[in-house]
A = this chain, B = another copy of it.
Amino acid sequence: MLSEFDLIQEYFQRPRHPARATLGIGDDCALLTPTPGMQTAISSDMLVEGRHFFAGEDAARLGHKALAVNLSDLAAMGARPVGFTLALALPSADRDWLAGFSKGLFALADAHDIELIGGDTTKGPLTICITVFGEVRPGQALRRSGARVGDDIWISGTLGDARLALGGYRLELSMDAASLQAAAARMHTPTPRVALGMQLAQQGLAHAAIDISDGLVGDLGHILKQSGVGATLDLDALPAGAVLATRDAAMRRAFTAAGGDDYELCFTAPASARADVLAAAASVATPVTRVGSIAAAPGLRLVDAAGAALALQLQSFDHFTS
């Protein structure tokens, strides 16, 4: 039987990154040497089987997603990823699962040149807790509280395909297999917008940012609340995912505005920075779309392409009440 130490050594211990962690897996703590003058950005997310992912979910996709949702938080701060810890509860030390999970995890880690520096493994209901570390120059971090009246509201990439796939899996709506598979890729293997976040932070282009994990309307709501402002959001401007784009307007509006699991960035920037925002996004090959503007009057006003008010009942996802 695979012991805890064998498990770590076989599946999670890799050659040490030459320039990064001073001490990695295998001691009481990992040791990181911060780059002088930089702040450390830290985020921790816990994924529970049956809640954040289906029972029996493919292990490699899960390895990718568990790290991706944390990298998305660093992206929303504009921080450069440095490393992460992994705490893992597993019902059993299944070799196939571990091989798949570590493969998906390290493929994304390698793509961002970051290192697993420590963690914990135990028997238990399948639960994944990753804590991720990044670096950002003081004063450059993108916060939720910085939106200003007159700012444009921007969205990276597209929204809603993950929500559409969920509807397909739940049989709430009919989808052919190819469409479901295409939409589900957005749910299973989200792309954290790290390079875009770093560009926005380093060039000082964005006033506020958040990553869209629980649905745009709810997440934008955090920016509005913490910035003490309101906004107008053009639902017809929201960029729908490729599969969702083939659906009717009502579904497009609902799933782009309040889908969840998108892991795109929502950020605000002054109108004077429009060309710079587009150039920064182009430099990292990340599409961005202008979808509304920040206003002084509190509250979020949803409008259509003609500017007419829409009265939609939208709810963001809550991990306790849903």
Contacts and interface: CB of A to CB of B under 8 A. Distances in A.
Counted per complex, copies of this chain come to 2
Quick one: which of A7, A40, A86, A226 has the most chain B CB within 10 A?
A: A40
Interface in A120-134: 120-125, 127, 129, 131, 133-134
B3 A44 contact: no
B320 A1 contact: yes
Interface string A1-18: 111110100000000000
Interface stretch (A46-54, A159-167, A293-301): A46-54
A29 B76 CA distance: 8
B44 A85 contact: yes
Contacts of A26: 144, 226
A306 to B, nearest CB: 34
Given A29-B74, A320-B122, A46 B134 contact: no
Contacts of A86: 44
A321 B5 CA distance: 11
19 contacts: A4-B318, A7-B320, A27-B77, A27-B143, A27-B226, A28-B77, A28-B209, A29-B41, A29-B76, A42-B85, A42-B133, A44-B118, A44-B119, A44-B120, A45-B87, A46-B87, A46-B127, A48-B89, A125-B127
Interface of A: 1-5, 7, 22-23, 26-34, 36, 38-46, 48, 50-52, 73-74, 76-77, 79, 85-89, 93, 117-125, 127, 129, 131, 133-134, 136, 138, 141, 143-145, 209-211, 226, 318-321
